[in-house]
Structures are given as structure tokens and as C-alpha cells.
Amino acid sequence: MQVISWNVASVRARMPLLKNLLSEQKPDIVFLQEVKATHETFPFREFSEMGYFSVISGQKSFNGVAILSRYPLQEVLTVLPGTQEEIPQARFIQAKNQGITFISVYVPNGNPPEKDPTDTSRLDYKLKWLDHLNAHLLSLLNQKQSLIIGGDFNVIEKDSDVYNPELYRSNALMLPTVRDHFRTLTNLPICSTIRSFSQEKPLYSFWDFQGGAWYKNNGMLLDHIFISNDLKPRLKNAGIFKEMRGASKPSDHVPVWCLLE
DNA sequence: ATGGTCGACTCTCGA
């Protein structure tokens, strides 16, 4: 079973590359983030014609996550438990197939708006959102659920995950409080698939559209696929499709993938 | 060409 996770930065803009990816890799499960589409505008039919069921948590213009699957999905959950009362931001979707719970997440970025660098409301929301995610994952794991979660976690976990850590010390991708929240997640009984297998050095999954970041290799590792420890014996390989950052009309993120037998 | 993003959507915002 191959699982891919990709922040596509608009599913409609990325359809040519997505179609290539699906036909070349034939993944079983695909987690998408930043689809920037609603049920009205999401390309359900194109994916269906390629053999995929789609479930989405959609939002106009921003955010939006989805799961594509070769097999029917059950027990779909489109809101992260605990965040129902927030201004709705489509950042979480969960569904089950064959005894495995699949989750696609787009963690809030957390940086303040350019207009008001003192505004911490987005950072507060990010920390609260991560608290809810950690609680939800802990609950699933306590119930002995097999789990595969992928997405854009918007956290630079280690200094070696960014081309120049000193530039990002006060950035919401790297603040100590944010790293603490992410450490709570990585300390769960789960395993990082790409860290276990990828030979890339440095291992990045994101290069900004701005400032020639790709050309200069000014990258970051923001995207991950984690599996619950009970699935570790089945994990055979994992990596990133780095070359897709150099394709025409790329996303600023590349797909990350793992292979389970 | 001496700079340099992109996408969605109303034009400015978010990343």
C-alpha cells in the first residue's frame, strides 16, 4: 500500500501534475492539503475517472483538505474534535478503510498578518489546534486504532530541517512553544516514515515560491507521514518526490510518500 | 531582462 501526502496549493491549479502522479505511482491513498475548493468546485469526477473515491473538508479560497482512495472510505470525520466552535477552517479530515484510520491535516501557519506583526491570534489558534490534534490522536491510539496521518504540519522540528535556522527563530514555524506542541505529537507511539527511510540530505519538502528558494535550495521540511507503531513491521520504504518542485506549474510543497506491505 | 511568487478572488490576502 502506497500512501502519498501533498500540499497542492490549489487542487484545480495542480490537476495536470496530480493526474501524472496518480497514473505513474498508482497510490492507494492520497492526502491533499490546501485544495482551496468546496464541494462545488472540487474535481470529484476527474478523480473518479482515474479510479479514486474522494472525501473532502472544503473551504472557499483557503485551506481545504481531502483524502483520495482506491477503496471506499467509511466513518468520515471533517472537523477536528474540539474545534467545532472555532471560525470554521477546513484543516482536518479522517476516514477509515480496512481497519486503518487515515487522517489528512493542514496545521495552521500561525504567523501574524503583515499588517500587524503584534497580532498573536493566529499563533494562539495554531497552538490550540495542535492541542486538539494531540488529544484526538492520543484518544485513537488509546483505542488501539491503527493510524496513518499525513500532511503539512507547518513546524520546523529541527534546525537541520531548514536552510538557515537563524532566520526563523521568531517565526511561528519554529518558536519553542510550537516545537513543544509538535514534540508532544512525535512522542506519541507513532513513527515518522520519511525520516526512517529517506536518504535525502538535507531532507526538505517545501521551497517558497518567493525569492528563488528552489534555485537556491532554500528549503524546509514541513510535510510528514506518521504511522502508528503497530504498523511499523509493514513499513518498507518512504521518501519525497523532490523532482516535482522543478516541474512546470509546481506547488511550493512536494509530495511525500510511504510504502507499507 | 540588472529583477525575481502564486492562487483565489476582487483586489487584497494568505502563505
Give the bases of strand B that a protein CB approaches within 7 Å: 4-9, 13-15
Smallest CA–C1' separation from A211, nucleotide: B4
| pLDDT tens column, A200-223 | 999 999 999 999 999 999 999 999
Collapsed DSSP state (helix, strand, coil) of residue A223:
strand
Interatomic separation, CA of residue A169 and C1' of nucleotide B8, rounded (Å): 30
Mean of pLDDT over chain A: 97
Cell 499525513 found at: A150
What pairs with residue A5 in β-bridges?
A31, A256
Q: Does the pLDDT at position A64 exceed 90?
A: yes
Query: In the prediction, which pLDDT does A86 show?
Result: 66
Footprint of strand B on the protein (CB under 7 A): A 9-10, 12-13, 36, 41, 60-62, 108-109, 111, 113-115, 122, 209-212, 249
Instruction: Report the pLDDT averaged over residues A37-66.
Output: 97
| pLDDT tens column, A150-192 | 999 999 999 999 999 999 999 999 999 999 999 999 999 999 9
Query: In the prediction, which pLDDT does A157 show?
Result: 98
Query: In the prediction, which pLDDT does A179 show?
Result: 98
Residue A222: which of A123, A150, A169 has the closest Cα? A150
Smallest CA–C1' separation from A11, nucleotide: B7
Question: Is residue A235 classed exposed, middle or buried when 0-12, 13-18 and 19+ CB atoms within 10 A define those classes?
Answer: middle
Query: In the prediction, which pLDDT does A84 show?
Result: 79
Smallest CA–C1' separation from A41, nucleotide: B8
User: Where in chain A are the domains?
Assistant: 2-260
Identify the CATH assignment for A2-260 out of 3.60.10.10, 3.30.1490.190, 3.40.47.10, 2.60.40.10.
Answer: 3.60.10.10
